[in-house]
Amino acid sequence: METTALLRQLSEAVGPPGYEAPVAELIERLWRPYVDELRRDPLGNLIARRRGSGAEPRPVLLLAAHMDEIALLVSGYAEAYGHGYLRIEPIGGIDRRVLLGQRVWVHPRDGEPLPGLIATPPPHILSQSERKKVPPWDHLFIDPGLPIEQLEARVRIGDPITFRADYLELKNRRVAGKAFDNRVSVAVVTLALAALLERTHAWDIVAVATVQEEVGLYGATTAAYGVAPTAAVALDGTFARQHDVGEDEAVALDGGPAIGVGPNFHPYLVDRLKEVAEHHEIAHQIEAIPRGSGTDAWAIQVSREGIPTALLSVPMRYMHQPVELLSLRDVERAARLLTEFIADLRADERPVWEDEHGS
Ligand SMILES: [Zn+2]
């Protein structure tokens, strides 16, 4: 499967937190050829199992990649000269600075998506002080081009809104688009599942496209409880170096996937990931995260009695903007590392603490 075509489909799919059904349908189609079972849990997580070759009961590795994307919600209507506008609020950590002039899709519960614009008055008409400020939420509106009565008939309060951002291929195998956080990880898991068709692996692999990460890691919370895995790898994007970002705040773009190190991650799994990357000469980097990572790994680690968890991240610039940028080479390296890590897990192997002996 071509990485760029896969990422394009995933990026352009729709899936705000709590409204993930469209992207879940796409991922279900992508994963079906590679897995033995597929189901949705009551929260909406898409859960796929690929059985291992070891004797039952087999250990289970959970792979968690969130499929939701930051978005907006219709919170009300406004009218000016008979023309209809939608009031908006953010779902997840939207950066208000990037909203002005954006094109969006409004997704009515029934009916076709409506194109719209994020509308503010032109600079000529604003006062000096207004021109310098990012407008607050109650001064940001969506203009879908309809009279107020028609708008009220078609769009309901609570309907979600997503960025209308085409996938863009830049030079040097770099690409930009919306929702790379975290559809890039869904792409990595898809590529790994496809590669595992040709391989044997002892452990069961349960791949989960989680919901509602952007509003509180909720999908990973219920999936970790429901799947009750032996160990887990969460996958996400992380900050890549760029202008105005310090070296210690971010990892290198094109430096390979980042393996998280810190209290959120089990040292045994961290060491195994490093060992596999070194053995197979896969470019990778170590990312020190001295606190909760804010990713699905954080929720999974403290589920049940504690689940040994690792984090694999793809370097990404301009996170939470409709122009998130990454290197396709990093995506492919992450998929290779994940595939080799899974194929390398022995049937009798379990993550242990350094002071545990042979149990
Ligand atoms: Zn995010």
Q: In the predicted model, is pLDDT for residue 359 greater than 80?
A: no
Proportion of the chain above pLDDT 90, given as a percent: 92
Residue-level pLDDT at 358: 53
Query: Is 213 annotated as catalytic?
Result: yes
Distance (Å) from CA 66 to ligand 1 centroid: 9
Distance (Å) from CA 213 to ligand 1 centroid: 7
> In this structure, are 290 and 186 located in the same domain?
yes
Two structure tokens written together for 236: 């996400």
In sequence order, what DSSP letters do the residues of 68-85 get, joined into one string? ---EEEEEEEEEETTEEE
358 found inside a domain: no
> In this structure, are 60 and 159 located in the same domain?
no
> In this structure, are 270 and 140 located in the same domain?
no
Residue-level pLDDT at 306: 97
> In this structure, are 17 and 159 located in the same domain?
no
Total structural domains within the chain: 2
Whether this prediction's pTM lies above 0.75 is answered by yes
> In this structure, are 75 and 65 located in the same domain?
no
> In this structure, are 57 and 83 located in the same domain?
no
Q: Residue 221: what are its φ and ψ, rounded to 5°?
A: -60, -50
> In this structure, are 308 and 330 located in the same domain?
yes
CATH of the domain at 294: 3.40.630.10
> In this structure, are 247 and 330 located in the same domain?
yes
In sequence order, what DSSP letters do the residues of 154-206 get, joined into one string? H--TT-EEEE----EE-STTEEEES-HHHHHHHHHHHHHHHHHTTS--SSEEE
Query: Which of 123, 140, 163 is the last residue before a domain boundary?
Result: 163
Matching residue, tokens 């009218």? 79
**Residue 104: helix, strand or coil by DSSP?**
strand
Average pLDDT, the chain: 96
Distance (Å) from CA 182 to ligand 1 centroid: 7
Distance (Å) from CA 158 to ligand 1 centroid: 21
Distance (Å) from CA 70 to ligand 1 centroid: 7
> In this structure, are 52 and 182 located in the same domain?
yes
302 found inside a domain: yes
Give me the residues paired with residue 84 across strands.
Answer: 79
Q: Which of 12, 20, 69, 213 is catalytic?
A: 213
Residue-level pLDDT at 354: 82
User: In a 10 Å sphere around its CB, with 0-12 CB exposed, 13-18 middle and 19+ buried, how is residue 325 labelled?
Assistant: buried
Query: Which of 163, 192, 215 is the last residue before a domain boundary?
Result: 163
Q: 28: domain range?
A: 3-69+178-344
> In this structure, are 17 and 146 located in the same domain?
no
> In this structure, are 158 and 198 located in the same domain?
no
Query: Which of 120, 139, 163 is the last residue before a domain boundary?
Result: 163
355 found inside a domain: no
Q: In the predicted model, is pLDDT for residue 110 greater than 90?
A: no
173 found inside a domain: no
> In this structure, are 154 and 141 located in the same domain?
yes
